[in-house]
Amino acid sequence: MKHIAIIGNGIAGVTAARHIRKHSNHNITLISGEAKYFFSRTALMYVYMGHMKWEHIQPYENKFWKKNKIDLKFGFVKHVNAAEKSLEFKDNSTLQYDKLIIACGSKPNKFGWPGQDLKGVGGMYSKQDLETIETYAKNNKECKRMVIVGGGLIGIELAEMMLTRNIPVTMLVREKSFWNSVLPKGESQMLNEHIKAHHIDLRLGVNLESINPDQEGTVKSVTIKETGEELECSFVGLTAGVSPNIDFLKDSGLQRGRGVKVNRFLETNIENIYAIGDCAEQKEPNPNRPSVEAVWYTGRMMGEAIAQTICGRKTEYNPGHWFNSAKFIDIEYQTYGWVHSERRLPDYEAQFHWRHPEKWICVTLSYHKETHEFLGINTFGIRMRHEVFDRWLNEKRDLDYVISNLKIANFDPEFFRHYEGDILKAYKNQFVSI
Ligand SMILES: Cc1cc2nc3c(=O)[nH]c(=O)nc-3n(C[C@H](O)[C@H](O)[C@H](O)COP(=O)(O)OP(=O)(O)OC[C@H]3O[C@@H](n4cnc5c(N)ncnc54)[C@H](O)[C@@H]3O)c2cc1C
């Protein structure tokens, strides 16, 4: 029986702990400096919005951990001493381990902006961030305006949160069109319109120059670099992406890049130490997968894979085709395979885009220019079935086949209006092969 220590009780660490328990009698200690009990990070926004209470976003009852003999330790690890197989905590206590799983997640990016550490400036990542937001953006009497720096998925969540309390929002986005580093032009354009339709003051193609304090050292305004304009605000949300939260590992001897470097088995360069979830960086990522994957389901998959390895069945992390989903205020977004933005478009990729003339609905399908092989799909406002696209990607179906059979992939309830006929018609107008 070994002692397995896990740094981080997010989805990656918790999945590893649960699955190690399922398959073994190892002693397990699950460590976090954020919250004693696991919660669903993706549901943080719903607590602020009043849709859920804190206890609703904790998927397991507090007694679950004791019942399953998983020890919980609340505290920040400040140093990993790999030679002695020991962890040192901020309160100077220590913990010995036989095997260590690092699942310490991400942190919001800060780019050295003047004023980035003022009171009233924060990210939207942790329980503590939510508490800060609740303090500085409590209501629209005390918070006259929030400025969000950075677009993307978390920025738009933060904006939606503010809308529910009628707090005016300005978003400063460096790109010329919202999230166009990831999305094709037509989709990004639709999101610009959708965001503005919600009376969010979306400023595109601008950078933050500085965050300015009042006399008490609390944020009072921001200055925009390009125009010199000073915007008064009571809170600044930093949502310019996230990066692995690995600063505390700098003297550990672990090989690091953007994250903790791992092989396909999630092993680091040090024996008996593994890294999973947002903080892991694949040395040789699977084809068509990013080297750092900061999404929920990949954390879960890595947790499952590492548990197998620790329990004696060495298992590769093999996530299959890329997929993801999110929400942009009222619009649900799903992606399967790869549909590249203009900036990242490979030579071989072409795209077919369809947008509903009145509603916030569109799809983009990508395909190989020469072979017409289907490469991926983005959908906005239409729910699709993951397993169908996974199969079509495996079967290397061509674009004609996918568009003709789209209704098989539709996951919207029966009484929803379906758009496959409109999409097919638009496609036939553009291509003659069907
Ligand atoms: C607001 C928000 C919305 C999101 N929405 C989605 C979504 O809709 N879909 C999706 O796929 N993904 C979403 N994500 C991303 C997803 O939540 C993350 O990919 C996932 O939570 C990462 O899990 P993890 O277990 O790797 O790390 P984390 O959940 O970050 O957990 C790591 C834990 O380790 C702790 N820790 C770090 N260092 C130490 C240390 N030195 N000592 C002790 N403890 C430490 C941290 O405090 C944290 O509690 C969202 C993220 C955010 C912030």
What CATH number is given to the structural domain containing 216?
3.50.50.60
Q: What is the pLDDT of residue 411?
A: 86
Planar angle of CA 352, 358, 363, nearest 5 degrees: 25
**Residue at 402 is within a domain:** yes
Based on the domain organization, do 191 and 98 belong to the same domain?
no
Residues 231 and 251 in one domain: no
What are the structure tokens assigned to 190, written together? 């639709």
Do the domain assignments include residue 125?
yes
Flag whether 316 is in a domain: no
The predicted pLDDT at position 286 comes to 87
pLDDT tens figures, 277-288: 999 999 999 888
CATH of residue 426: 3.30.390.30
Using pLDDT thresholds of 50, 70 and 90, give the confidence band for residue 430. confident
Do both 266 and 218 map to the same domain? no
Q: What is the CB neighbour count within 10 angstroms for residue 94?
A: 12
Residue 379, burial from CB neighbour count under 10 angstroms (0-12, 13-18, 19+): buried
CA–centroid distance, residue 234 to ligand 1 (Å):
26
State the DSSP code for 32.
Answer: E
Nearest C-alpha to atom 29 of ligand 1 is from which residue? 10
Q: Are residues 215 and 133 in the same domain?
A: yes
Q: Which of 310, 340, 357 is the last residue of a domain?
A: 310
Distance 34 CA to ligand 1 centre (A): 10
Residue 126 CA: which ligand 1 atom is closest? 53
Structural domain boundaries enclosing 214: 121-240
Mean pLDDT computed over 10-14: 98
Q: How many domains does the chain have?
A: 3
Last residue of a domain, one of 259, 283, 310: 310
Q: Are residues 230 and 127 in the same domain?
A: yes
What percentage of the chain has pLDDT greater than the value 70?
99
pLDDT-wise least confident of 231-240, 352-361, 410-419: 410-419
Same domain membership, residue 91 and residue 164: no
Shared-domain flag, residues 344 and 356: yes
- CA distance linking residue 177 with residue 189, whole number of Å: 7
For residue range 170-201, list pLDDT tens digits in order.
999 999 999 999 999 999 999 999 999 999 99
Query: Do 298 and 332 have their domain in common?
Result: no
Same domain? For 299 and 408 the reply is no
| pLDDT of 329 over the 70 cut | yes
Residues 332 and 400 in one domain: yes
Same domain, 294 and 333: no
Query: Ligand 1 — pocket residues by CB below 6 A?
Result: 7-13, 31-34, 41-42, 44, 76-77, 103-106, 124-125, 154, 157, 245, 248, 277-278, 294-297, 299, 324, 326
In a domain, 152, yes or no: yes
Torsion of CA 94, 100, 106, 107, to 10 degrees: 20
**Domain co-membership, 288 together with 385:** no
* Residue-wise pLDDT tens digits, 136-166: 999 999 999 999 999 899 999 999 999 999 9
- The mean of the pLDDT values for the chain is 96
User: Which residue, of 219, 240, 261, is where some domain finishes?
Assistant: 240
pLDDT higher than 70, residue 305:
yes
Q: What is the pLDDT of residues 95-133, one digit of tens each?
A: 999 999 999 999 999 999 999 999 999 999 999 999 999
Classify residue 115: in a domain, yes or no: no
Nearest protein Cα to ligand 1, atom 33:
8
Please say if the pLDDT value at position 415 is more than 80: no
Please state, for a pLDDT cut of 90, what percent of the chain lies above it.
94
Residues 6+ apart with CB under 8 A from 390: 320, 321, 323, 336
